[in-house]
Structure 1
Amino acid sequence: MRPFLIALWLLIMPQVVQATTDVYPFESASEQERFRELISELRCPKCQNQNIADSDAPIAKDMRDEVYRMMQDGATDQQVTDALVSRFGEFVLYKPDFNQRTALLWATPLLAVLGGLLVVVGLVIRARQQGGAEPPLSEEERRRAEQLLRDRDGGV
């Protein structure tokens, strides 16, 4: 039983050590809040849609360390984000700036809504033009339908 517990402890221990949270000392609560805001606005390049504040990936820890180091060196928020964007690309920004490269990204929701409205308007116009009424049956179609109904009802 004892070897089993030792093996279990050896398996669990790395996860416990990794689960420890980073502790960054700040001089004021406003600096700590600024740090939290910055790391919550930056996306982890490895994770799927997770900010670096919540990510356990090693790259996210490196990014948090870099944000902290730059803040301690007196960098502004813009300088911090610019440095991380230059290193990792605009993917790390949850709200990328509007420019020539990101215009389609910002315009896609608007284009999708406008496209949907055009489809709905087109369907409504076509339905109104058709009048919604089916063309009347020809005399032969009417006789054939009556014959089918009589055959179904057993010739009544």
Structure 2
Amino acid sequence: MRALMIVVLLLLPALAFAAEERYPFDDPAKRVLFVELTEELRCPKCQNQNIADSNAMVAEDLKRKVYQLVQEGQSKSEVVDYMKLRYGDFVYYQPPLNLITLSLWLLPLAFVLLAVVVLVKKRKRSKETNAHDLLAEAEEWLEKDK
């Protein structure tokens, strides 16, 4: 039993290496680019998981397409542009700064500022009301004392 366990433990790294060799590269720079791209591209089906870690069918398709484009000699920006054109900005973890992404950052801030303004005005109004009520009450007491 112990010998079997040792054999399995010794074979585990080989299995990991075999799984990685599904996409063979002649040029080490292309391999690095492929790994970088698959870690930076998001799976359209999975929730916040890159295509390198996803086992979804669409992620496998994306990996094959990235492999094909890298093998054709396309640059990182060309591959990213192709994927964004096909799947939208969601597929890339670093979305561009445009009106939509800017609104995603600024709308929550605007709501917080609006809430602060409303609370300040409400508090100011309640202080004025309290001061007016106190003044009216003091005048009532003065009238009673006469």
The residue correspondences of 1:63-74 to structure 2 (distance < 5 A) are 63-74=62-73
* TM-score between the two structures when normalised by the length of structure 2: 0.64
Distance 2:66 2:94 in 1: 18
Q: Which residue of 1 aligns with 2:125?
A: 129
Q: What is the percent sequence identity of the aligned residues?
A: 39
- SS of residue in 1 equivalent to 2:19: coil
Q: What residue ranges of structure 2 are gaps of 5+ in the alignment?
A: 1-17, 138-146
Distance 1:89 1:110 in 2: 22
Distance 1:42 1:74 in 2: 18
Query: How far is 1:127 from its partner?
Result: 0.5
Query: How far is 1:122 from its partner?
Result: 2.1
Give the conservation status (yes or no) of the 8 Å contact 2:51–2:62.
yes
Q: Which residue of 1 aligns with 2:30?
A: 31
Query: How far is 1:60 from its partner?
Result: 0.7
The residue correspondences of 1:136-155 to structure 2 (distance < 5 A) are none
Equivalent pairs, count:
115
Q: What residue ranges of structure 1 are gaps of 5+ in the alignment?
A: 1-19, 139-156
Higher relative contact order (CA 8 A, sep 6+): 2
| Structure with the higher fraction of residues in helix conformation | 2
Deviations 1:40-67 (A, max 9, x none): 2211122122111111012211211111
* TM-score between the two structures when normalised by the length of structure 1: 0.61
- SS of residue in 2 equivalent to 1:54: coil
Give the one of 84, 95, 114 matched to 2:110.
114
